[in-house]
Structure 1
Amino acid sequence: MVPVNGLVDVTCLWQMHAVDRPDLKDDQWQPVTAGRLAAAEELDRSIFAVVRERALLLHHPYESFASSVEEFLSQAADDPRVQSIKMTLYRTSGDSPIARHLIRAAERGVQVAVLVELKARFDEATNVTWAKAFERAGVHVVYGVVGLKTHAKCVLVVREDSDGLRRYVHLGTGNYNSRTARLYEDLGYITSEPDITADAAQLFNHLTGYSRDVEYSRLLVAPDYLRSRLIDLIRGEGAMGEQGQITIKVNSLADAEMAEELYAASQKGAKVDLIIRGLCCLRAGVPGLSENIRVRSVLGRYLEHSRVFRFANGQGAGVPLHLIGSADLMGRNLDKRVEVLTPLTHPKHQDWLNKTFETLLSETAAAYELLPDDSWTRVGPALFEPHPQRILYEWAAHQQTRRISRE
């Protein structure tokens, strides 16, 4: 028995939040529809047409999950040209529109395969319920790889376009959960790039048991390839000395080998900026060990949930590599789960990630920073305003409304 000062189950506070007192609540930040999607809707063009022109980066909940990811799957379910849909499902809600889209597609005759993770903590019962519903609708349900949790966030759609079969893929940092998508900060990426979509097809073949020895050309996939590739990238920045720079945003950093590699890069002169919301087993700013490492945590109305990696010389001297995906820097993610990181190569997408890093790491951002003695200190404005999440929401809304007007 352990005494607790305060509430044992803080989820009961949602009942207080449900009280109809808008004067006691934060002002609402209404999610905006991505500008290219809003313009396409006005012209009665599909998301597939938008993505064929250029891949789409989404930043939730600043940008709407419903009008992007849910709509992508809704259109796939109803499109007579769609031949198959494959998806990983780690966590979802009991009233999931996405699950209903998949069932509708299967009932229409589309080949639908869903990998349902039955060991998703706290959501086991919900996932079992949906798995049974999927099976009744004719969905091919897979329950994962023995000994591994499937934590990757991936959808693969195969469609008969006018010029032949084409794959479309969504890769994300967050769960396909319509409720948490309104509360969690996450990134998503929809693309038809041949290399990435071919890798996604390989991944699903592996997960559904159709192939064993799999190699990937663009995606970084755990547990076989992710740890070694990240180590190579960290060491590459360390080798650049003071020209090296590593910027990472994750939920937790608890893997000892990763911490040691970051220490080594710091000792060689590389600058390391870490944005870690939760557990951090690395000491920052310790002379002779980590004086070039800064660790920051941003807490706000949204749960910072995206995982983003930027290596300043990851594609050669002066050429950065940007990655987003599902993996934290923990042993369980790197060694005991199926995780996926995808590179973002378009300059507009890289600029969006750079803006996000710049905002969260700004000297004027409301945040907490880790001190050499392992304590945390508040930095930025005393009243938490302007909060970096507010800045990013207002910036994202401006970007998308400006894009609509251009379209």
Structure 2
Amino acid sequence: MRKEILNYTQNRELSWLEFNKRVLEEARDITVPLLERMKFVAIFTSNLDEFFMIRVGSLFDMVHTDEKAVDSRSGMTAGEQLAKIYEAVAPLYKERDKTYADIKKQLHPYGVCGLDFKELEQTEKKYVKKYFKEQVLPVLSPQIVDANHPFPHLINKEIYVTATLKWKEKSMLGIVPVPQYISDVLYLPGHDIRYIRMEKVILEFLDLVFEQYTVSDANYICVTRNGDVSPDDEGLEVTDDFRKLMQKTIHRRRKMSVVRLEVAEKLNDETQKYFCEKFDIKPYQIFRTKMPMKLSYIFAMSGNLPEPMKKSLTYPAFSPQESARVTSGSMMKQIRKKDLLLFYPYESMNPFLKLIKEASVDPNVMTIKITIYRLAKKARLVEYLCAAAENGKEVTVLIELRARFDEQNNIEWSERLEEAGCRVIYGFEGYKVHSKICLITYRNRGEIQYITQIGTGNYNEKTAAMYTDLSLMTANPEIGMDAAEFFKNMSISNLNGSYHHLIVAPTSLKQTVLALMDEEILKGSNGRIIMKMNSVTDTDFIEKVSEASRAGVKIDLIVRGICCILPQVPGYTDNLRVMSVVGRYLEHPRIFSFGTGAEQKIYIGSADMMTRNTEKRVEVACPVRDKEVKEQINHYLKIMLEDNIKARVLQRDGSYRKKEQSEPFIDSQAVFMEEALQAARKEPEEKKESFAARIRSLFRR
């Protein structure tokens, strides 16, 4: 069986690197505004950082625990995967450096200039030196490394300026942490956006930091540490305080082993050997980068631009629109009449927030229950939930403290919710709760009724303006009863509950999806499957896709990131097409569509077809029953599949290619923005074609 799987599957990690290549392609796309292209370089960089911390980190753990274990999709051991990863990443660094340098050069005529010290004007050099002496030097914590001063612990992803120091006959290493509480960049006086990065400022004035030494071989470095800390490995006891455990986990992550060292300048042999010994790494784990090791400052830069320049360098402004299907009255009344689907970020999250706010004061509402995975730093949702509890409603919040890199934020929100009187519960040992479900229970003329919301994305007001997601609100009593049963089971730690309409991982979601695929397999060439998600790694699902393809079923998978199944492999996946869309917004919905016409079944939910989601997480997907909502989703899928601007098609060798561009030119995200604007303006039907034509004209070469 394994040999057969290997014919049409590929390694997860190498597939992820292909995804990040697509992000870097956006940075090279000349139709994307320059500052947005620089943001894609920053996204590529932060993606790669997380990849090393989590995926590379977990592979190193596997090498130490079970070095003979092989990846079922590629047949490689953990060690072989690591070798392939480091080999694949090296050219990506060169491509990223070149892309960054090209964009930086093109930004100069606009007055947006990231500068080296030698490029500064004389007055600017004086300004920088004065700033350094008055604002930076007093707060630096330099250190020497010698027999009396041990090598310090370097914090994950923080930048350190280093140099060789000589005093009399002695030679030693000098290290200066770039302070975390000082801005990453120093903006220079004047109307243009001229700036110099803080590590370059410190590097320039190292002689003032180490006054009694001769300074040479100045450099700056950054370590990436294994961040794959799982609380499930901690032997959690039921009596343990889960919040304290998570705080220990966050602290431990800072001290994990080094998986990558980045350097600004090439290391000499002696220094390279020294760092390899200190960090317990090999030379192939050292990467030289000619661009900033941190680029997060790029995202704030557009706020400093004059308005005319902003129009030239950034995407045209777009704000999530109020849904044309939402009226100004009571949300609960509207949803009782008809299901409502919101499409983020083209439509605003406000109607859902309005629903919770309304429920918090409605005297007929008895309970509000919700699962939370990630929240924004400022969250109106939490305010409304707290208000509901303070108004006497029973509010239950199942918050997942193990949402990677959001643990501290979730800990703080859980404390705030508890203080307001909400009942806060956590996930299961060994299972993250990743579902996005909210249930409002109320009395209506003596009857208990429900409003249920099921989403594909988090209740995060910030990312709802950046990620594409679907949010379904329904008063369907059968869905509501299932949701009530779900929350009851979560409260009593029952993972094995049964549901009539919702499909829930780890018990029924994958099994139901596979069964629905079997129904299409029985139809042969009349079968149709369209699925949209972020990643595909689950081998049971992959085998079923191949089975469906062999039966003649036409299958389209729209997969943003990792995809371990290869299309167009003769005899295995001939009828499979896989595409990925990377554009202005992060594609995030999970949609499962089976069949066509009146028999079509559609589910939306929180789960990707990854083993971790289908077997080790609590996920929820909901059937779409409303005819108009089905039409909305089918329209969405149709436009996505027609995209020939931002879509890339997966090839049988694992690479991706853009579609051949011909009219009509379709950028799916641009279409959805135009449609949202058009609906909000309530344009007459005869004007719709002109909007579509305008979108197509944007991409005529």
- Answer yes or no: is 1:361 the counterpart of 2:641: yes
Which protein, 1 or 2, shows the higher relative CO under an 8 Å CA cutoff with sep ≥ 6? 1
- Corresponding residue for 1:340? 620
Deviations 1:306-348 (A, max 9, x none): 00010016xxx96110110000000010000000010112111
- Answer yes or no: is 1:135 the counterpart of 2:408: no
Deviation at 1:238, TM superposition (A): 1.6
- Answer yes or no: is 1:222 the counterpart of 2:493: no
Amino acid across the alignment from 2:304: V
The partner residue of 1:16 within 285, 288, 301 is: 301
Cα distance 1:4–1:335, how it changes in 2: closer, same or farther (>3 A)?
A: farther
Stretch moving more, 87-96 or 361-370: 361-370
- Listed as ranges, the matches of 1:135-214 within 5 Å are 135-162=418-445, 164-209=447-492, 214=497
- Answer yes or no: is 1:372 the counterpart of 2:657: no
In structure 2, the gaps of 5 or more residues are 1-259, 261-284, 686-701
Q: Distance in 1 between matches of 2:534 and 2:446?
A: 42
The partner residue of 2:321 within 21, 27, 32 is: 32
Cα distance 1:380–1:108, how it changes in 2: closer, same or farther (>3 A)?
A: farther
Deviation at 1:165, TM superposition (A): 2.4
Deviations 1:337-378 (A, max 9, x none): 000010112111111111111111116453100011111101
Q: Distance in 1 between matches of 2:476 and 2:535?
A: 30
Contact conserved, 1:55 with 1:189, CA < 8 A, in 2? Answer: yes
Amino acid across the alignment from 2:477: P
Deviations 1:215-256 (A, max 9, x none): 111001000011111111112212211001110000000111
Deviation at 1:18, TM superposition (A): 3.1
Contact conserved, 1:118 with 1:127, CA < 8 A, in 2? Answer: yes
- Corresponding residue for 1:50? 334
Deviation at 1:20, TM superposition (A): 2.7
Q: Distance in 1 between matches of 2:292 and 2:515?
A: 44
Deviation at 1:13, TM superposition (A): 2.6
Q: Distance in 2 between matches of 1:25 and 1:397?
A: 19
- Answer yes or no: is 1:283 the counterpart of 2:558: no
- The percentage of counterpart residues that share the same residue type is 34
Amino acid across the alignment from 1:262: V
* SS in structure 2 at match of 1:18: helix
Contact conserved, 1:82 with 1:157, CA < 8 A, in 2? Answer: yes
- Answer yes or no: is 1:351 the counterpart of 2:631: yes
Deviation at 1:8, TM superposition (A): 4.4
Cα distance 1:292–1:386, how it changes in 2: closer, same or farther (>3 A)?
A: closer
Contact conserved, 2:583 with 2:646, CA < 8 A, in 1? Answer: no
TM-score by length of 2: 0.54
Amino acid across the alignment from 1:249: K
Amino acid across the alignment from 2:296: T
Cα distance 1:348–1:8, how it changes in 2: closer, same or farther (>3 A)?
A: farther
Amino acid across the alignment from 2:340: L
Q: Distance in 2 between matches of 1:189 and 1:398?
A: 22
Q: Distance in 1 between matches of 2:569 and 2:555?
A: 13
- Listed as ranges, the matches of 1:211-360 within 5 Å are 214-312=497-595, 319-360=599-640
Amino acid across the alignment from 1:126: N
Deviation at 1:399, TM superposition (A): 4.0
Q: Distance in 1 between matches of 2:405 and 2:660?
A: 35
Deviations 1:96-130 (A, max 9, x none): 11011111111111111100100001110010001
Amino acid across the alignment from 1:61: P
Amino acid across the alignment from 2:322: T
Deviation at 1:69, TM superposition (A): 1.5
Q: Distance in 2 between matches of 1:63 and 1:195?
A: 27
Q: For the pair shown, which has the larger CA radius of gyration, 1 or 2?
A: 2
Q: Distance in 2 between matches of 1:362 and 1:201?
A: 39
CA RMSD of aligned residues (A): 2.2
Amino acid across the alignment from 1:165: I
Structure 1 segments, 4+ long, off by >6 Å, are: 382-385
Amino acid across the alignment from 1:14: F
Cα distance 1:361–1:36, how it changes in 2: closer, same or farther (>3 A)?
A: closer
- Listed as ranges, the matches of 1:109-124 within 5 Å are 109-124=392-407
Cα distance 1:126–1:212, how it changes in 2: closer, same or farther (>3 A)?
A: closer
Cα distance 1:389–1:214, how it changes in 2: closer, same or farther (>3 A)?
A: same
Q: Distance in 1 between matches of 2:391 and 2:652?
A: 59
Deviation at 1:288, TM superposition (A): 1.2
Amino acid across the alignment from 1:113: T
Q: Distance in 2 between matches of 1:211 and 1:255?
A: 24
Deviation at 1:400, TM superposition (A): 5.2
- Corresponding residue for 2:347? 63
The partner residue of 1:76 within 359, 371, 394 is: 359
Contact conserved, 2:644 with 2:665, CA < 8 A, in 1? Answer: no
Contact conserved, 1:112 with 1:139, CA < 8 A, in 2? Answer: yes
- Corresponding residue for 1:126? 409
The partner residue of 2:673 within 384, 393, 396 is: 393
Contact conserved, 1:35 with 1:403, CA < 8 A, in 2? Answer: no
Cα distance 1:291–1:11, how it changes in 2: closer, same or farther (>3 A)?
A: farther
Deviations 1:34-59 (A, max 9, x none): 2232x3x1xxx210000010111111
Cα distance 1:388–1:138, how it changes in 2: closer, same or farther (>3 A)?
A: same
Cα distance 1:212–1:30, how it changes in 2: closer, same or farther (>3 A)?
A: closer
Stretch moving more, 231-240 or 175-184: 231-240
Contact conserved, 1:275 with 1:295, CA < 8 A, in 2? Answer: yes
Q: Which has the higher helix share?
A: 2
Amino acid across the alignment from 1:63: E
